Structure 1
Amino acid sequence: MPSTTPPETSHRIALGDAQIAYLLRRSRRRTIGLSIDQRGLRIAAPLRARLGDIEKLIQEHANWVLDKLTQWRERPLPEKLAIADGTRISLLGETWTVAFSDIGRQRWQFAGRTLYLKTAATVDAGKLLEMALREKARTVFAERLGLHAARLAVDTPPLRLSSARTRWGSCAHHGGISLNWRLIFMPLDIIDYVVCHELAHLKEMNHSPRFWSVVEQLCPDWRSRRLELRQLGRQIPQF
């Protein structure tokens, strides 16, 4: 049977002078729990807990939350990822395992949360992994572009993968959209925010209030997703 557990939802709360994004997941638990990880503030709450009660608890623990978030932000950038049989990576918000395997003529294969790579003495595992992830990124990004372009009632624009170090996406005047292939390491809702942001430029080639109203039409909680993108950006693995 399909799960009826509500998905995580994005929210924001003011703690002192800071606007803090948090992810809320409801389940059949009895208490409200707070945790901090690479995605930021995470809240686990009972199904019937009132949002006001949840945010009151967050306010009561504001100093702890702000201290822990500061510790995460000040963590050193990830070291270069050593690719080996059994390496674990986060893709689309889920943990995948890299496995070296003889998979016939294919050079890589995604199956059951495992990414199989066909390595050889003459093949750099890091380069092979990047090629596999770029292919996955192109497939996922093209699907999300098509989905959200239809919602905006525009033609699906041409897609180009970018390797930019400082930009997650861009929209050219001719209508083509570039998306950083490293977004594949992000949860799908964060990828959707970047896609919606760039698609909004097809309507408004600027960052005016009208532009942000288009973004909000496609992605009502874009503010919290943008904050989460900034938090997760420091955790992207290098290899």
Structure 2
Amino acid sequence: MNHPFEYEIIYSNRKTLAVQITPDGTVKVRAPRRCPNSTINHFLQEKQSWILKYVNKAKQNPLSEKPPLPPSERNRYIKIARDIFTQKTAYYAGIMHVTYGRISIREQKTRWGSCSSEGNLNYNWRLIFAPEEVLNYIVVHELAHRREMNHSKAFYAVIESILPEYKKAQKWLRDNGRSLWTVV
């Protein structure tokens, strides 16, 4: 089946299909190792309008090429992020009655945060330029994985019990998240 966009398939030990649009508008399909092409084509057909919307958006608003941050400046932002996320994580973990392991601050190109099965948390330092409610959402999202290691209805119910208006933060990230890469 032909699609109005090119894409790359990345097979791994995952259980579900996912599509990723990179900042330059490249489409990547992440698929389970033995996923048939017919299933991938059907998935892409279902997601076609969403994919085209974000591919066009990426091509209309290419990320500006800025010189890399000097290490001292980057380290300063990472320290600020570590302080913010350490405080917010401790605060929300107490409210949610969950534990967590190590907190790492990184610069991930495709993720705002992650939670390992051991409870270690990673946050993207560029989030410090997002609105406060977005930072709160990312922290609560990652801590919710301490109860549900998936993105099920039960998982989102955990988030909603803490942040009833979390969908506004999700929308902000969808609509404005790319801009965090052009701030510095």
Shift of 1:199: 0.3
Counterpart-to-counterpart distance in 2, 1:73 and 1:224: 21
TM-score computed with the length of structure 2 as normaliser: 0.63
AA aligned to 2:160 is E
AA aligned to 1:77 is P
Counterpart-to-counterpart distance in 2, 1:143 and 1:74: 37
Q: 5+ residue gaps in structure 1?
A: 1-71, 83-123
Which residue of the partner structure matches residue 227 of structure 1?
171
Which residue of the partner structure matches residue 99 of structure 1?
none
Counterpart-to-counterpart distance in 2, 1:125 and 1:206: 35
Shift of 1:162: 2.1
Match of 2:61 among 65, 73, 76: 76
Counterpart-to-counterpart distance in 2, 1:175 and 1:125: 30
TM-score computed with the length of structure 1 as normaliser: 0.49
Shift of 1:78: 4.0
Deviations 1:62-89 (A, max 9, x none): xxxxxxxxxx88752342346xxxxxxx
Q: 5+ residue gaps in structure 2?
A: 1-56
Aligned length: 128
**SS in structure 2 of the partner of residue 199 of structure 1:** helix
Which residue of the partner structure matches residue 114 of structure 2?
170
**Greater gyration radius:** 1
Deviations 1:172-215 (A, max 9, x none): 00011111111111111101101100000000001111111001
Deviations 1:148-180 (A, max 9, x none): 101101235421112210011111000111111
Q: Does 1:183 align with 2:127?
A: yes
Structure with the bigger percentage of strand: 1
Runs of 4+ aligned residues of structure 1 deviating over 4 Å after TM superposition are: 72-75
Structure with the bigger percentage of helix: 2
Which residue of the partner structure matches residue 13 of structure 2?
none
Counterpart-to-counterpart distance in 2, 1:76 and 1:127: 27
Counterpart-to-counterpart distance in 2, 1:201 and 1:207: 8
